[in-house]
Structure 1
């Protein structure tokens, strides 16, 4: 249709180009399209005509100016699109007018189209130098946002850059990290997949395969792609393809069913009505252009009279295909003659389906954007009136300039372009769901709005149906998630989504899933069995609540009671010869010190505290020295008594009771002095020992100064050795009151216990160190009380006839 300003339109009404073998003898025929008509593309072209007629009937937009149009079929072919672009630039006149200025002769003022990205790129490179603006309704390649290469290109459909990011977030949202991908081997598919791979890499998504194909590739190539999909382990397939390309692949897949696959679609095919005939793709999800309503469009589409159909070869072809009849005298084998009973209102076709107007609205907005740009360039607004002069010719460059500033709203939809010629990216998340009749319907389940803040762009507001009608989200991972307590270790030569799950090392935990590192627990904590939580380490010490502690405490109290009972027996028979003959004062002092020795072992049981640590070693050291001093005094008394029996000896006056007491006090005072120095300079203190066991804490008393501890033990050992030597010297004295043999045997036990104690103490772990020390105290104490006092008590209680002065003074017959 002619007009004051002509707008060009390019649509892929057919999907195949007729190929001709050139003989180089005759002029080649112009390229022409063949195959069946794409009803959706026909609807798009008719929507452009509807928009232009609506504008021409408007009194507000371009009043007094008539828009015309030239609409071409590119059959989705770059060569045809290039030819159309030259026609838009030069016009169709075979001879140029060389007299007048023909710089604008035959040129369209702007172009709507093309549907595909590759034809749009080719067209933009040709008409761009002529400053002819191009507004595409469906060319989504992100490469077209490059204004240095495509300065004249605009589009009403969002760029694939936004769609790729939205698809990556969609895949990540459902936990799919291992997917397959197929793409059209075209600018749309290759650039779209490249954008998706960049976005997917940031989201931690891996591709098992990425295959490209094109509708005119050999069938062997299509079969190979289909086989890759069938053999893959990924259950999710993302298809960044045009509808025509994917149709070829799905037809190949339908010949030999593959395992169930969850399809994710780009907006090019996921909203295409014709694609929904492939029922094995039910459950497919993807982003589509927003649905819209265009008042009056359906009536316009259905208003096809016989005269209109016959006047257009494209409409005639569509009519014949739709109703399987032939118009007029056209030849068609096996087809009846169209008799006028055909009712397009009853026709089920993408052409008549206006329930999901998506791309159609993009065409509608593209036409209006051009019209508004022409309005700004050709019209003058004065007060409340608008004057447009159709005789003042404007150049396409002015329209191009005004198109960059366009900002209007039509039917509730905003139209504007950013610096790259792109609109605001808004998508609907659509899902293929089976209806009760078994057909697949398109259901909007969410949305994506790139203009919203991060975290609010992607929303899902309805339940989805998955592959085979399932309600559970399919799983598509190379390796199952590593549970808490394990860490990820990448498999050599595999993508980052393929890994092994290795348990955390000893002492480390991991409380998250799919993380590559474990971390150590704090010093006083230790992992649980699952190694996903740090628990406080159990504190271990020799307790009164455990069997070992109870046994040791029982023997300790029992030993103290035994010493007290022995003292009571001695006190009860204090006037008897055997008690008087064995230095009763030192005996009672020895029994008292042994009682303290038994009781001091109780300070080693229980949780160490600051006071118990100060008390346990000093009390043990002082009481044992007191005990050794008494034994030493008794041994010296035996020796001195024997010396006193010799003629002329007065040695006992130098070792009477006062001297004995002074000896005990002096030896004990030295130990008290050693302990005082130890406590003042570096006293023992409670310590949480974290080094012996990794998994538990040993609560113990640190020595403070090891020198002080070993000085205390060394002094006790020195007295014991001295006692042992003196007892050995006096062991063969002939009198019955001689205790030297008993003292010798008790010192043998004492020294054996404490010599054994040293290596046992140094090598025993944890609370057993304390147990060894208590055992040594108890064993040596029992050795002393049993060896020295048991025979006397036996005589007193069981053999009273031997508890006489005569028997005691009797010399050994040997």
Structure 2
């Protein structure tokens, strides 16, 4: 066969190549059986392996005459239908290569051509559409002021801040009364003002996170709460010293001055500020696009930078509240008129309960709900401090003014 070479009547050179293909190609013949029983051979196309690409296979479908049993539908060259975009081929080892199943691509993967063997994974900032044939940008979410959850938390924050401002106004108006003077009036003012900022700092957690807000969130939160807890600690120490130094000649009376209380607040707050400064200098918080926490969604959130520093901040607040709770609990049975120990004990129970439940809840939530959990903890713990310490005093000032006098309080102590 390799040595065959001749010219036909059309002066075309005929030979076979190394694969056994004819040099001039092949004609595609449609065999038609006429009703009278005769056979008609009609050329409907050609195949020439030596022709230019795109011209090697030519066929005229309109010239093809199909048998009536085929109902004019071309026969299938394979036993499976083509897999459309969005599907991929799944070949079974027990079947021929031309037989396969078509299965949808997984979430986040697509096929944009027919009969693809594998699906293509979408980029991190994109996700597959419903048909799995194209990648579309992921939805971006964060806790906004337009969100019902964000609106609710904002309203609660503003209401508590307003209530705190009203209580501060009551204390300033009745500043000359014994119930306000009891246990360091200045510390009460500092505590109320710091609680107002604690309520307001929750607003920084709402809105689109950027580098500045991510830093301010934890710094303002940690500083304001350290001032509040330092004030409560100073109040608790003052209560303990006051009832231990009943003798006018006692040296402990020197520790009851306002300068000692102010020093406690200042020192404890500066320690927290120093911790925040170290945090900012080493690994400060920064905005982060979280593409892994929720399927098909990009969550804009603040990365803490150093999770160790974050838990050190919370741990320091826990230390201050633990010391205050211990001192207040041991002093809870002292005379109640000038003694806030009982109320401080309740406030520290509420504060510690909120933040102990915060940690597992925070770690088990995702997306904008993590921010909502932290805001709720800030509001709940601040409200606990405000309610347990100041509501009983406001009750006496506004509803029981006959108890708000030095003679009554002194008689109560003597009993």
TM > 0.5 fold call: yes
Distance in 2 separating the partners of 1:724 and 1:591 = 19
Contact 2:194-2:228 within 8 A present in 1 as well:
yes
Q: Deviations for 1:92-148, whole angstroms, at most 9, x for unmatched residues?
A: xxxxxxxxxxxxxxxxxxxxxxxxxxxxxxxxxxxxxxxxxxxxxxxxxxxx4x21x
1:805 aligns with 406
Distance in 1 separating the partners of 2:373 and 2:200 = 16
1:154 aligns with 6
Shift of 1:527: 2.6
Of residues 194, 197, 204 in structure 2, which corresponds to 1:596?
197
Question: Are 1:417 and 2:18 matched, yes or no?
Answer: no
Question: Are 1:623 and 2:236 matched, yes or no?
Answer: no
Matched residue of 2:62: which SS?
coil
Question: Are 1:653 and 2:254 matched, yes or no?
Answer: yes
Distance in 2 separating the partners of 1:771 and 1:707 = 21
Contact 2:229-2:320 within 8 A present in 1 as well:
yes
Structure 1 pair 583–485 and aligned structure 2 pair: CA distance change class (3 A): same
Q: Deviations for 1:214-267, whole angstroms, at most 9, x for unmatched residues?
A: xxxxxxxxxxxxxxxxxxxxxxxxxxxxxxxxxxxxxxxxxxxxxxxxxxxxxx
Distance in 1 separating the partners of 2:113 and 2:172 = 74
Matched residue of 1:526: which SS?
strand
- 5 Å-filtered alignment, 1:48-87, equals none
Distance in 1 separating the partners of 2:162 and 2:335 = 33
Structure 1 pair 451–433 and aligned structure 2 pair: CA distance change class (3 A): farther
Question: Are 1:776 and 2:369 matched, yes or no?
Answer: no
480-489 vs 415-424, greater mean Cα deviation = 415-424
Q: Which has the larger radius of gyration?
A: 1
Contact 1:582-1:737 within 8 A present in 2 as well:
yes
Structure 1 pair 450–647 and aligned structure 2 pair: CA distance change class (3 A): closer
Contact 1:464-1:471 within 8 A present in 2 as well:
no
Structure 1 pair 753–434 and aligned structure 2 pair: CA distance change class (3 A): farther
Distance in 2 separating the partners of 1:423 and 1:528 = 50
Shift of 1:678: 0.8
Structure 1 pair 547–530 and aligned structure 2 pair: CA distance change class (3 A): same
Contact 2:25-2:46 within 8 A present in 1 as well:
no
CA RMSD across the alignment: 3.1
Distance in 2 separating the partners of 1:617 and 1:433 = 88
Contact 2:27-2:43 within 8 A present in 1 as well:
no
- Which of the two has greater helix per residue? 2
Contact 2:84-2:114 within 8 A present in 1 as well:
yes
Question: Are 1:757 and 2:358 matched, yes or no?
Answer: yes
1:504 aligns with 105
Shift of 1:618: 1.2
Contact 2:30-2:65 within 8 A present in 1 as well:
no
Contact 2:88-2:105 within 8 A present in 1 as well:
yes
1:793 aligns with 394
Distance in 2 separating the partners of 1:461 and 1:564 = 89
Shift of 1:419: 5.9
Matched residue of 1:415: which SS?
coil
Structure 2: runs of 5 or more not aligned: none
In the superposition, the TM-score normalised over structure 2's length comes to 0.87
Distance in 2 separating the partners of 1:756 and 1:430 = 82
Of residues 668, 689, 696 in structure 1, which corresponds to 2:269?
668
Matched residue of 1:755: which SS?
helix
Q: Deviations for 1:256-299, whole angstroms, at most 9, x for unmatched residues?
A: xxxxxxxxxxxxxxxxxxxxxxxxxxxxxxxxxxxxxxxxxxxx
Shift of 1:564: 1.3
Question: Are 1:474 and 2:74 matched, yes or no?
Answer: yes
Q: Give aligned pairs, total.
A: 408
Distance in 2 separating the partners of 1:493 and 1:669 = 74
- 5 Å-filtered alignment, 1:237-276, equals none
Matched residue of 1:455: which SS?
coil
Distance in 2 separating the partners of 1:528 and 1:514 = 19
- 5 Å-filtered alignment, 1:25-44, equals none
Contact 2:215-2:286 within 8 A present in 1 as well:
yes
Q: Which has the higher contact order (CA 8 A, sep 6+)?
A: 2
Structure 1 pair 420–487 and aligned structure 2 pair: CA distance change class (3 A): closer
Matched residue of 1:711: which SS?
helix
Contact 1:487-1:510 within 8 A present in 2 as well:
yes
580-589 vs 623-632, greater mean Cα deviation = 580-589
Contact 2:7-2:14 within 8 A present in 1 as well:
no
Distance in 2 separating the partners of 1:423 and 1:698 = 64
Shift of 1:728: 1.5
Structure 1 pair 772–429 and aligned structure 2 pair: CA distance change class (3 A): same
Matched residue of 1:467: which SS?
coil
Contact 2:110-2:119 within 8 A present in 1 as well:
yes
Distance in 1 separating the partners of 2:94 and 2:364 = 50
Contact 1:429-1:448 within 8 A present in 2 as well:
no
1:205 aligns with none
Shift of 1:582: 4.3
Question: Are 1:736 and 2:337 matched, yes or no?
Answer: yes
Shift of 1:440: 9.5
Contact 2:275-2:313 within 8 A present in 1 as well:
yes
Of residues 144, 148, 160 in structure 2, which corresponds to 1:559?
160
Matched residue of 1:482: which SS?
coil
Question: Are 1:453 and 2:49 matched, yes or no?
Answer: no
Q: Deviations for 1:585-640, whole angstroms, at most 9, x for unmatched residues?
A: 11111111101111111222223221111111111111100000111111122223
Matched residue of 2:127: which SS?
strand
Structure 1 pair 772–434 and aligned structure 2 pair: CA distance change class (3 A): farther
